[in-house]
Amino acid sequence: MGHTATAQAGSGGLTATEHRLANGLRVVLSEDHLTPVAAVCLWYDVGSRHEVKGRTGLAHLFEHLMFQGSASVPGNGHFELVQGAGGSLNGTTSFERTNYFETMPAHQLELALWLEADRMGSLLTALDDESMENQRDVVKNERRQRYDNVPYGTAFEKLTALAYPEGHPYHHTPIGSMADLDAASLEDARAFFRTYYAPNNAVLSVVGAIDPVQTLAWVEKYFGSIPGHDGKQPPRDGTLPEIMGRELREEIVEEVPARALMAAYRLPHDGTRECDAADVALTVLGGGESSRLHNRLVRRDQSAVAAGFGMLRLAGAPSLGWLDVKTSSGVEVPAIEAAVDEELARFAAEGPTAEEMERAQAQLEREWLDRLSTVAGRADELCRFAVLFGDPQLALTAVGRVLDITAEEVQAVAAARLRPDNRAVLVYEPLPAEAGEADEADVNDENEGAEQ
């Protein structure tokens, strides 16, 4: 840890206090008066992993319904009131959780708490067929826009389905299938709410220019009377053997602009030292423009337009190391694959150099500083560690753990995990298509979740 960028290794002197209401709601508060804003973040411990066969996409569809009004808030009032108060808000759904968040001018904090409590306690009094049918159509259009109508848009869904076996809770992604979205009924939505939307299945964090005593009093006032209940079954076990045992492979021939090689490697669960070591390994191999894969494929071989690794950290199932290579024109996938395998094998045999460790850890540290640079980012991380690992304080020390990883640990996890018999591979082969011209404008982003 001799090369950290800040004295406190990223936590910047931040602190957080923890509280629990009688109904089981866990509350995390963190005070910071640098800017007059306050972030509210509410994580419900439910995601697409809790969905059952035939009802994929229900957690995310339900997240949309949470913005359709509750007992004291008609129609689009959740959006109108927050935005009218100078705040911003949204919700997202992933495999492991559903989160809702507002960032408010500090003097409007109480409104956000009142709104979140109202829908936690009374959503079903407002939920009706009309909003269900409407949001079903909106979500189907979200699926078309983000996945079905863009090249390689369904790659994530396809690789996930390969990487986690049929019947595994992470076999399907949060967006769900069109058929299941069509099949979801109002009664399914009601049952989902009754099962998962309870104060004792949630963590609330409030971060920013707050008075902790006053904030806690408001939380007690608005959330305190919502009854807790224990209708929730534990999620299906997501544990899998450490190694897939053989390479799983699918080749897609469709209208894409170039050949592509994508792969998902099975990695350790989030929350372990091995997972942090894997993060460093993937950064050395495929993060940024000085990584081994970028230098090999984009700079030296010039066989790829872009090449890199990403990581999907998961707590309830093995994490995934995400390889994405788009080929240069005329290059065949086997050439890319051979080069990738050669680089991974060399890395497993030799491990990272001291300079590579320094670079990767400096990059990961900056990413943490970025995430903690806003009150909303901090609120989300506090909830994440509270929900997934039972301790929000771990958010404030996470960067220190990444910086504590040694080269030996990085090499060990690479040797154990980044192997051909531990990956699902997706190869894209384009249909013959005409060439065209260049163009402009912004790129669409894509992430593992699904937003309101």
Partner 1 sequence: MSDTAAVTMTFHPQPQAGEARPWAFPAPERGSLPNGLTVLRCHRPGQQVVAVEVNLAAPLDAEPQGLDGVATIMARALSEGTDKHSAEEFAAELERCGATLDAHADHPGLRVSLEVPASRLHKALGLVAEALRAPAFADSEVDRLVRNRLDEIPHELANPQRRAAKELSRQLFPPTLRMSRPRQGTEETVARIDSTAVRAFYEAHVRPATATAVVVGDLTGIDLDAVLGDTLGAWTGNFAEPLPVPPVTADDTGRVVIVDRPGAVQTQLLIGRIGPDRHERVWAAQVLGTYCLGGTLTSRLDKVLREEKGYTYGVRAFGQVLRSTADGKGASMLAISGSVDTPNTGPALEDLWKVLRTLAEGGLTDAERDVAVQNLVGVAPLKFETAAAVAGTLADQVEQELPDDYQAQLYAQLAQTGTVEATSAVLAAFPVDRLVTVLVGDAAQIEEPVRALGIGEVTVVTN
Chain residues 31-60 in contact with partner 1, contact rule CB under 8 A: 32, 34-37
Contact 60, 93 (CB under 8 A): yes
Query: Which CB sits closer to partner 1, 79 or 389?
Result: 79
Chain residues 317-336 in contact with partner 1, contact rule CB under 8 A: 326, 328-329
Q: Is 259 in the site for partner 1 (CB under 8 A)?
A: no
Q: Is 204 in the site for partner 1 (CB under 8 A)?
A: no
Q: Of 24, 106, 250, 273, which one interacts with partner 1 (CB under 8 A)?
A: 106
Rounded distance between C-alpha atoms, residue 410 and residue 43, angstroms: 32
H/E stretch holding 413? helix 407-417
Q: Of 225, 334, 341, 421, which one interacts with partner 1 (CB under 8 A)?
A: 225
Rounded distance between C-alpha atoms, residue 218 and residue 150, angstroms: 45
Token pair for 236: 């299906």
The residue type at 283: T
- CB 400 to partner 1: min, Å: 15
Rounded distance between C-alpha atoms, residue 351 and residue 281, angstroms: 9
- CB crowding 330-364: b at 16 or more within 10 Å, else e: ebebeebbebbeebbeebbeebbeeebbebbbebb
- Phi then psi for residue 74, to 5 deg, are -75, 155
Q: Of 47, 69, 121, 318, which one interacts with partner 1 (CB under 8 A)?
A: 121
The terminus-to-terminus CA distance of the chain in angstroms comes to 40
Chain residues 127-186 in contact with partner 1, contact rule CB under 8 A: 133-142, 144-146, 148-151
Q: Is 217 in the site for partner 1 (CB under 8 A)?
A: no
Q: Is 188 in the site for partner 1 (CB under 8 A)?
A: no
Chain residues 277-316 in contact with partner 1, contact rule CB under 8 A: 288-290, 295, 298-299, 302, 305
- CB 245 to partner 1: min, Å: 34
Identify the CA nearest to 377 among candidates 365, 389, 388, 367.
367
Q: Is 110 in the site for partner 1 (CB under 8 A)?
A: yes
Q: Of 221, 246, 249, 346, which one interacts with partner 1 (CB under 8 A)?
A: 221
How many residues touch partner 1 under the rule CB under 8 A: the total is 101
Q: Is 345 in the site for partner 1 (CB under 8 A)?
A: no
